[in-house]
Amino acid sequence: MSDKKQLVAKPSKIDNYLNADKGFKKFLQWFSLSKEDKDKIKQLKKQLSKDKNSKKTNFNKQHIFEICNLNLFYGNNKQALHNINLNIKKGEVTAFIGPSGCGKSTLLWCLNRLNNAVPNVRITGNIYFDDGTNINSKKLSHIELTTRVGMIFQRYLPFPMTIYENVAYGPRCHGITNQKILDNIVRDALVDAALWDEVKNNLHDKGTSLSGGQQQRLCIARAIALHPEVLLMDEPTSGLDPIATSKIENLILKLKKKYTIILVTHSMAQAQRVSDNTVFLSNGKVVEQGPTKIIFTAPTQHETKDYILGRN
């Protein structure tokens, strides 16, 4: 689609309206606009809606995500992501690295629309998923997206229920009630999460009774019980001891045979150990991306090299 300038005769007034936070102020701004401006806003919104509900015709089947001109704003003043253009390959581990506050987690959260629930956030641009469907399309519900794109958070948060019920929760929500089927799902998920042998005799203990590393693997089991296509991992080993971290990293290498994994990490060593591709971000921008070995041995950007060597 052509940009707003082709649709807007008075960009300042219309941009002020489009960029305003939802609420009474925006409500008042609408009534201050001329009929011509209102018609152009309606035209713009109609075109944006059409774009979101149409597939990307040249979507590469080797990709799981294609991110195009993505920007994210907090309120009217702070821009957290700047014109992100990025392709994520299927069946591989992609690591997002960069200094604290550079936008790594913010970008990760965009991939299953978690940022949409954050107050005063405005997002422009498009993210296309799997077959070229826009993740904001009406053809892809939020429930379907979050089922197909699982999330593992930095802080492991088992539900306040038994180990068994933690894993069975998602399938139950999707209407599976047959006990034998649930038993198989729970066992398979715990096996895939490398946790079954440690908990098989204690499935009715509270999930919160496990160690930190075990709780994180329980959260992974809970996510993969729904058989997603993608696992988003936001610093999944933060706060874990070296042994627990090693188990999670070995699990990532195992899981990538079944899932595409996108990982946010502050550990340069971890990115090198587990990822196939690395994206380096700074100040909300993608500075460099490519195969992990190349990024860490022959980066093309001085900023990337300085970060890897600990100079900034």
The structure's pTM equals 0.81
Strand order in the sheet with 133-134: 78-89, 63-74, 121-129, 133-134
pLDDT-based confidence at residue 274 (cuts at 50, 70, 90): very high
pLDDT of residue 44: 63
E strands within the chain?
Answer: 63-74, 78-89, 93-97, 121-129, 133-134, 149-152, 230-234, 260-264, 277-282, 285-291
The pLDDT > 90 percentage for the chain reads 67
Report the pLDDT value the prediction gives residue 45, as an integer from 0 to 100.
Answer: 63
- The model's pLDDT over 12-61, given as tens digits with 9 standing for 90+, comes to 565 666 555 555 556 666 666 777 777 776 766 665 665 666 788 889 99
CA atoms within 13 A on the CB side of 165: 9
**What is the C-alpha separation between 169 and 302, in angstroms, rounded?**
47
Residue 26: predicted pLDDT: 61
The 10s digit of each residue's pLDDT in 3-22 is 444 443 334 565 666 555 55
pLDDT at 22: 59
Please give the average per-residue pLDDT across 75-98, as a whole number: 93
Over residues 287-304, the pLDDT tens digits come to 999 999 999 999 999 999
Mean pLDDT for 210-219 is: 94
